[in-house]
Amino acid sequence: MTNRFTPAALLRATASLLLAAALSGPALAAEKLKVGFVYVGPVGDAGWTFEHDEGRKEMEAALGGQVETSYVESVSEGADSQRVIRQLAQSHDLVFTTSFGYMNPTLKVAQSFPKVAFMHATGYKRAKNVGTYSARFYEGRYLTGVIAGHMTKSNVIGYVAAFPIPEVVQGINAFTLGLRSVNPKAEVKVVWVNTWYDPAKEREAAEALIAQGADIINQHTDSPAPVQAAEEKGVYAFGYDSDMTAFGPRAHLTGSVVHWGGFYTQTAKAVLDGSWKADDTWGGIAADMVKMAPYNSAIPKAVVEQVEGIKASIVDGSFHPFQGPIKDQQGKVVVPEGTTMSDGEILSFNWYVEGVQGELPK
Amino acid sequence: MDIDLITNILFAMVRTGTPLLLVALGELVCEKSGVLNLGQEGMMLMGAMAGFGVAFTTGNLWFGVAAGIFVGMLMSLLFGFLALNLNANQVASGLALTIFGAGLSAFMGSGFVGKPLSGMEAWVIPVLSDLPLIGKALFAQDPLVYLSFILFGAVFLVIYHSRPGLILKAVGESPESAVAVGLSVMRVRYLAVLFGGAMAGLAGAYLSLAYTPLWSDNMTAGRGWIALALVVFASWRVGRVLLGAYLFGAASIMHLVMQGLGVSVSSNLLATLPYLATILVLVLLSSNQARIKLFAPMSLGKPFHKTQ
């Protein structure tokens, strides 16, 4: 069952729920697990919030009659969020807050609701009843790099990047390592647009890169504008976050897509059987939290097979995208053969690997 | 830089400058009549949303363009009612219009987020588009860019070489005198406000139908505000609006192109170029205070009571 909540409806629902609880007493306690979601954007048909909502629906489908979910969309990351989280906490057993900016509000509200389980996406602060979770997007990025290595003719790949923060640098590096594992001559040109979302600017960045010889465009921004630009200019592109095939049916090769459904189902199950703990989950392909968008038929079969092979070795743990030897831009080996970067090192990337052109803005 | 690169930069410059040119021309006419409408961003967003929505639903891009213009005019009508009929504070009414437009477009457009639309195709004019350097920039664009050229010419002719242009300026400079010679200040200002709305709506539709054929919240990303600065930058002159729009376009392109060329300048610094350019020009202009005063329409932003 789904309730679409506006703040007013939320208030009404909360009130009626309290009333029902008062009337029927403890009999209600054994009822369905109530799970609330706080979204930063509108659900729409693509992007970050859309994928969270897909996850919510998948959990509902998987757990059938055992859960009941509701969500509040377009909650800005300021003071509003604390109010919304508080209201959800009053009538729910498990609350997912799905944006980085909800970190402190979630922790604050959680203090007053010790019996409610909270899960905060992409944050780093935890508490007794606040767990965190995120996805290892870089695993998917590595695989797109391998595909790019085979598909490029000009050996120049353009990368439209949002802000020079570790999360984005991590993606550039993983992509470049994948790219050069099959094509050591290929290089990555990065253009920083200094915004997560400005379709016009993202498009101009993609076109500037294409004009400078890039025949594949990758992106770490949120709009499908770079894919559109690639489609129009007759080059290839990788989407991000959600499947962007519709915006460039010919250009869109595949993309690293985030998938929360399995994780949401597991978490709800854990709360139901009492085994839930407030820990951190950073899952990748193996945890089914990162998936690949459908492969374009332009990718040769052998390449798809190779990529699927690497994917399998990431899943069984025999391969890690950030395992040595990894060289920096000056050609110096930073991660020696036989060692793998730790999660802490991956999460604090502030240097480019060999094969990325230009300097990382400081 | 090789010649192809410069050709491409000029091409991108015109395209990036076009939405700014359209809104700024509309705002210029509006301000010439003495009305300051800060609602450009809101009208643009509504135009972008309506344009995309109608084009997506009907499958006809031109219906979308018409819808964008129409919705922009509706929005400006609302502003006109507040600012002209009720004599509300123009700055406050304009700001309210922007906030209202941003919220309403996000609400009404939520069903269109992430929907694909094949955008407007370029009309490549044979022979002329092969001219070196400028051929591609001027003759291989989409139809709305050509429309912006035509609108620029029309606004230029009307303001500097026509009787309606004189009336417009008279109303903006001295509404009292205009009334004295039998002109209807209200009618002229309403027409100017409506024109401003139509242009903002068109600029929005350009973004969502031609430039990046998609709809999403706040997709104008502050271009309405840049256009307001542009009118001051142009010191209320039509020709300079064109120059300024393309200069802004070029500045925001250069920041991306230079990175691609591997020029190691801070990208954050480069991203501020368009704004630095504005400040620079404002400083240069205001070095002579009298000049600014001379160029701004004298009654700009002041409500007018006919009974005076």
pLDDT, greater one: B206 or B135 = B206
Q: How many CB pairs under 8 A join A and B?
A: 113
The domain spans of chain B are 16-119+126-292
Q: Do A199 and A109 belong to one domain?
A: no
Answer CATH for B16-119+126-292 from 1.20.950, 1.10.3470, 3.30.300, 3.20.20: 1.10.3470
Q: Give the total number of structural domains in chain A.
A: 2
Mutate to test the interface with B, among A157, A188, A197, A212 (most CBs of B within 10 A): A212
Q: Which two tokens stand for residue A25?
A: 């007493």
The pairing of strands A33-38 and A236-241 is unpaired
Domain hosting residue A146, numbered range: 136-249+289-355
pLDDT of residue A61: 94
Q: Return phi, psi of residue A290, to 5°.
A: -125, 135
B253 touches A: beta carbon within 8 Å: yes
Closest CB from A42, A202, A246 relative to B113: A42
Q: Do A108 and A165 belong to one domain?
A: no
> Cβ contact (<8 Å) for B114 and A50?
yes
Residue A181 lies in a domain: yes
Q: Do A88 and A116 belong to one domain?
A: yes
The pairing of strands A236-241 and A280-283 is unpaired
pLDDT tens for each residue of B269-289: 766 766 776 677 667 666 656
- Residue A49 scores a pLDDT above 60: yes
Q: Distance of CA A281 to CAs A48, A124, A267, Å?
A: 18, 11, 10
pLDDT, greater one: B259 or A71 = A71
Q: What is the mean pLDDT of residues B45-52?
A: 96
Helix or strand holding residue A156 (H, E): strand A156-161
B261 touches A: beta carbon within 8 Å: yes
Collapsed DSSP state (helix, strand, coil) of residue A61? helix
> Cβ contact (<8 Å) for A194 and B114?
no
Q: Which residues of B touch A192 (CB under 8 A)?
A: 259, 267
pLDDT tens for each residue of A205-218: 999 999 889 999 99
End-to-end CA distance of chain A: 48
Q: Do A225 and A305 belong to one domain?
A: yes
pLDDT tens for each residue of A307-342: 999 999 999 999 999 998 999 999 999 999 999 999
- Residue B300 scores a pLDDT above 90: no
Residue A145 lies in a domain: yes
Residue A64 lies in a domain: yes
Q: What percent of chain A has pLDDT over 90?
A: 71
Q: Do A84 and A214 belong to one domain?
A: no
Work out the pLDDT band at B290, boundaries 50, 70, 90: low
pLDDT tens for each residue of B208-228: 999 989 898 888 888 898 898
Q: Do A141 and A180 belong to one domain?
A: yes
pLDDT tens for each residue of B124-162: 998 888 888 888 889 999 999 999 999 999 999 999 999
Work out the pLDDT band at B308, boundaries 50, 70, 90: very low
With DSSP H G I counted as helix, E B as strand and the rest as coil, what are the percentages for chain B, rounded to 5?
75, 0, 25
pLDDT of residue B2: 77
DSSP state letters, A228-282: HHHHHHT-EEEEEES--GGG-TTTEEEEEEE--HHHHHHHHHHHHTT-----EEE
pLDDT of residue B228: 87
CATH of the domain at A45: 3.40.50.2300
How high is the mean pLDDT of chain B?
A: 88
Q: Do A130 and A174 belong to one domain?
A: no
Q: What is the mean pLDDT of residues B30-47?
A: 94
Q: Do A145 and A51 belong to one domain?
A: no
Q: Do A189 and A123 belong to one domain?
A: no
pLDDT tens for each residue of A132-143: 999 999 999 999
| 8 Å CB contact between B32 and B202 | no
B8 touches A: beta carbon within 8 Å: yes
Q: Which residues of A touch B262 (CB under 8 A)?
A: 189, 357-358
B288 touches A: beta carbon within 8 Å: no
pLDDT of residue B8: 86
> CA quadruple B277, B257, A238, B61: dihedral positive or negative?
positive
Work out the pLDDT band at A163, boundaries 50, 70, 90: confident
Q: Token match 């123009």: residue? A: B90
Distance of CA A321 to the CA centre of its chain: 17
pLDDT, greater one: B295 or B243 = B243
| 8 Å CB contact between A152 and A254 | no
Closest CB from B219, B221, B266 relative to A361: B266
pLDDT of residue B273: 67
> Cβ contact (<8 Å) for A199 and B212?
yes
What's the 3-state SS for B255-286?
A: HHHHHHCCCCCCHHHHHCHHHHHHHHHHHHHH
> Cβ contact (<8 Å) for B212 and A194?
no
Nearest Cα to Cα of residue B195 among B235, B246, B151: B151
Q: Do A182 and A275 belong to one domain?
A: no
Chain A residues interacting with chain B (CB cutoff of 8 angstroms): 41-47, 50, 74, 158, 164, 189-195, 197-205, 207-209, 211-212, 223-225, 228, 242, 246-247, 357-359, 361-362
- Residue A102 scores a pLDDT above 90: yes
> CA quadruple A298, A300, A305, A308: dihedral positive or negative?
negative
Q: Do A69 and A157 belong to one domain?
A: no
> Cβ contact (<8 Å) for A246 and B207?
no
pLDDT, greater one: B263 or A112 = A112
B252 touches A: beta carbon within 8 Å: yes
Work out the pLDDT band at A5, boundaries 50, 70, 90: very low
pLDDT of residue A217: 97
> Cβ contact (<8 Å) for B259 and A212?
no
How high is the mean pLDDT of chain A?
A: 88
Neighbours of A284 (CB within 10 A): 20
- Residue A6 scores a pLDDT above 70: no
pLDDT of residue B271: 64
- Residue A7 scores a pLDDT above 60: no
- How many helices (H) and strands (E) are present in chain B, helices listed first? 14, 0
Residue A271 lies in a domain: yes
- Residue B205 scores a pLDDT above 90: yes
Q: Do A185 and A322 belong to one domain?
A: yes
Work out the pLDDT band at A20, boundaries 50, 70, 90: very low
> Cβ contact (<8 Å) for A45 and B268?
no
Q: Which residues of B touch A359 (CB under 8 A)?
A: 264
Between CA A140 and CA A223 the distance in angstroms is: 18
